[in-house]
Amino acid sequence: MLLTFLTPVLTPVILFLVSCRLWTMYCDGQRDKNSPLPLPPGNMGLPFIGETLNFLIWMRDFSQFRRKVHGDVFKTHILGRPTIRVIGAENVHRILNGEHCLVAALWPTSAQTLLGAGSLSMSHGHVHKQRRKILLRAFSHQALKSYMEECQHIIRSHVIKWCGLGSIKAYPEIKRLTFAVVCRVILGFDLSEKDQDDVLKVFIPFSSNMFSVPLNIPGSGYYRVSVYTSLYRMLYAYSYTNYSGLVGSDALSLVLQHGAAEGEAISDDNLKDLALELLFAGYETTASAACSTVNLLASNQHVLKKAYTEICHNGLDNLDEPLAFESLGQLEYINNIVKEVLRLLPPIGGGFRKSLKTFELDGYQIPKDWCVVYSIRETHEDTFINDNNKDFDPDRWQRVENGDASNVKDFLPFGSGSRSCAGKDFARLLLKVLVTELVRNCSWDLLEGDTPAMEYFPVPHPKNGLPTQFTGNSKFRLSSNTC
């Protein structure tokens, strides 16, 4: 009688314990037996699902907790793959600079499908090298200089609009700003404000579900995005009629011109993938950094005052004169503001790679074919340990130049190596113009405290949307002794 009662209770427990034991044996068998080095410490989680649920639920805290227990290099099993998590400047540099010899780019299935095979991110070897070479021409010094006037016009018009609206949620408005810049300056789309809003309604779910679970069923984010992707392609196909003469001054037109000049004509399908990738890469990450800039400056008025003083000393306080590209390059303190924002809140938290062979890292083996996840955000958190690393202090970068502070080799907001962000100089240009226009044209205050709660996926952003009160005319312009 007792056995009859206990059997249905004990059987699932026994099966679960056996499954866990078999899973542990399977995971232990994944190490490279030809290497004498041990696997990194860590936990491979539950059978089949590993630690994926913990990862999806805890996100940022998932890695932080395990790092405290296991150190800068630890193993786990997430998103269906045995994975090594890597933190620390030297370790991350080894991964980023080991492209093609130690590791290769690895993207989740959802991103591979949605960005398309023609995108730079999904290419490898010679194809990647050639495409990147052509793309970099669109972000050369001369190209950036040609984008300056349009960037300033769009940014300034949005800043003035915010002042007219008064109280706004800054993050959504900043996303509209960066979307407008990318559409016009990068892709050459001359869209009305209504058309931009219509495209944004379609694009937001695409961007938000780039790293979703690839279940192509009704109701899932991935299914919704798959449907919208066809709309994007139709929009781009229609817009590309503007490029028949290859005479545009936007970044995409320059890519087409340089590709044709080097005998690397880009097919229509690859062109659509590239345009979609440029829109994705330039929109959300730049919006995140721009929002962080507005947030951090609002709660550090002494930084704003110093920025305005620098603007005055460089003769850029006259609102009737456009910003000159060369003059912007002389604003060293504003450049340090941008660097400090990217240090504290890097838009890209890390990335994925696949190991091409077994290699050593920090005394452990990284087996062939394992996923390697490197962390930029946590590496930045180790920067300037002896220099108040949690403070927003643009002056620290001057101390770095003077040799009075920590080494900055662990400053990696745009990655490193052959897959570093191709548009990093454009992003820095946009942020410097934004800071300059904000400081020259308006004042602003956060309406719900100086330290809003943050979300970090897919990019850092305030949970509350950053309610902000903008007013016209800079408070420093009204002070007779600021300049």
What pLDDT digit, counting tens, does each position of 225-241 carry? 666 666 566 566 555 55
Residue 293: the pLDDT is 97
Q: What's the whole-number average pLDDT of the chain? A: 83
Residue 446: the pLDDT is 94
The pLDDT of residue 351 is above 60: yes
Amino acid at 209: N
If one compares 459 and 113, the residue with the highest pLDDT of the two is 459
- Residue 69, exposed/middle/buried by CB under 10 A (0-12, 13-18, 19+)? exposed
If one compares 410 and 178, the residue with the highest pLDDT of the two is 178
pLDDT tier, 107 (very low <50, low <70, confident <90, very high otherwise): confident
If one compares 106 and 37, the residue with the highest pLDDT of the two is 37
Q: Which range, 29-43, 184-198, 417-431, 463-477, has the best average confidence (pLDDT)?
A: 417-431
pLDDT tens digits along 239-260: 555 554 445 678 888 888 877 7
If one compares 332 and 404, the residue with the highest pLDDT of the two is 332
Angle formed by the axes of helices 424-441 and 141-165, to 10°? 40
The pLDDT of residue 385 is above 50: yes
Q: Mean pLDDT throughout 5-29?
A: 59
Spell out the domain ranges in the chain.
Answer: 34-472
- What is the secondary structure of 153-164 as a DSSP string? HHHHHHHHHHHH
Amino acid at 478: L
Q: Are 205 and 224 in contact (CB under 8 A)?
A: yes
Annotated binding site: 421
Q: Are 40 and 364 in contact (CB under 8 A)?
A: yes
Residue 206: the pLDDT is 77
Percent of the chain at pLDDT exceeding 70: 82
Q: 103 Cβ partners below 8 Å, 6+ apart?
A: 95, 353, 354, 355, 356, 372
The pLDDT of residue 478 is above 60: no
Least confident of 42-51, 134-143, 326-335: 42-51
Annotated binding site for heme: 421
CATH 3.90.1150.10 matches 34-472: no
Please write down the long-range contacts of 315-320, taking CB distance under 8 Å and 24 or more positions apart. 316/436, 316/440, 317/440, 317/477, 317/483, 319/440, 319/441
Residue 317: the pLDDT is 85
The pLDDT of residue 30 is above 90: no
* Six-digit token string for 446: 């956060």
Residue 73: the pLDDT is 95
CA distance 88 to 73: 9
The pLDDT of residue 460 is above 80: yes
pLDDT tens digits along 162-179: 999 989 999 999 999 999
pLDDT tier, 125 (very low <50, low <70, confident <90, very high otherwise): confident
Residue 117: the pLDDT is 75
